[in-house]
Amino acid sequence: MIPLLGRREPAVWAGALLVAWALIAATGFVSRDPDSAFYAAMAARLAHADPARVIAPEWGGLWNGTGLWQEHPIGIYLVPIALIKAGYPDAQAAYAVGIAAGLACLLLLARLARAAEASAGRSALVLLQLVPAAFVFRVRANQEYPMLLCLLVALVGLDGVRRSWGWSLAVAAALTAALLVKGVFVAIVLLGAGVWVLVNPLRVPGSIVRPLAALAGSLVVMAAVAFGYDQLYAQAAGTTFWAGYWRRQLGPVADAAPDAGVLPLVYHAFFYLAHLAWLSAPWGAALIALAWRAHQATLRRAALFALAFAGVAIVLLSPSGRFAERYLFSPIFVMAAIGIAVACRRWPHIPVAVAQVERRIPFLPVLVWLVLITGRLGLGPLLPRPRFW
């Protein structure tokens, strides 16, 4: 089996990440994406705030907001705060964390593609960087990459727990981190984890009881952490967090599509399907077109997982009156990764072509990544954002 990474490649990836961090700091990069700009500014502010203000941040005029900020728990800010305290520029720390999380996701997604189809790993390292979603979300400071990373770590842990109970700690840590990063949207991560356990895409031997028990234990840990978070928040702000969070964030999300009958539901479903097809192109389309022809058992199960995960996510999200392409971020990249695996199996010339280029250009995936990151930092203000609506 072709190794995913060469012996020296981890060090080269680490060096590329440090170069990217240096470029972000040197250019003073600030995203045009309003959410990213907000999270970067808030992280910079909280890095110099008292602990009470960190656990219970206030809007402080950002987006003209006042009072307590209760959009999500504060997990998204913790690593940027640590980076700022280590000396990294305040306004750019959240973007540095974002590209590090994105790089970790790329490596884990390529690992997933390689596990589904042995020839696909190196191809996925290059091709995943070229899907439309990667261009739209290349350098961000919001929750999408951290949430995808939590999902991928949980999937690795759920396979591992079939062999050893020690992996249950990784599952609990990943799911709890997702809860602290984006609150209720941990439901998407839990959906993906549940489908993964039921389908067992990589055909890992062992009883299904073990990963189900790990998920159940993780829910207990999440509940305990949520309770502890509420207590700390109450001490800092004089009010609980989750009640306000429900009113501000979960209430609108929980509302069914307004009183126009079934049309809004159909529109939202079409919105998600269209963006799933576009942002994962062309590999999402390849997965849909070729999945039924995947005769190899592991690849067929992986395709079933990707399609089922995307389907149940759309079913969960469509009734809500609040919708956005980023809510489907994790299914988009899972679809693309498994789509690459299916395409490499069906068209062997794809991995052969990538291998031929790699023989001429050492460390091709690293070079592509660094060129694209550099291009985004330098040309970002000049580039249009491709989208339907």
Give the span between the Cα atoms of 181 and 278, in whole angstroms. Answer: 26
Give one DSSP letter per residue of 310-350, joined into a string.
HHHHHHHHTTBS---GGGGHHHHHHHHHHHHHHHHHH-THH
78-91, pLDDT tens digit by residue? 999 999 999 999 99
- Which residue, chain included where needed, has tokens 């540095």? 96
320: three-class secondary structure by DSSP: strand
Q: What is the pLDDT of residues 233-259, one digit of tens each?
A: 999 999 999 988 987 776 655 555 455
Q: What is the DSSP letter of 91?
A: G
Residue 73: helix, strand or coil by DSSP?
Answer: coil
Q: Are 113 and 125 in contact (CB under 8 A)?
A: no
Q: What is the pLDDT of residues 67-120, one digit of tens each?
A: 999 999 999 999 999 999 999 999 999 999 999 999 999 999 999 999 999 999
Domain borders along the chain are 15-378
Residue 345: exposure state from Cβ atoms within 10 A (0-12, 13-18, ≥19) = buried
User: Taking the CA atoms of the chain, what radius of gyration do you get in angstroms?
Assistant: 21
pLDDT recorded at residue 253: 54
In this prediction, residues 126-143 reach a mean pLDDT of 96
| pLDDT beyond 70 at 383 | no
Angle, to 10 degrees, between the axis of helix 263-279 and the axis of helix 297-317?
A: 140
C-alpha separations of 193 from 202, 272, 308, 309 in Å: 13, 20, 12, 9
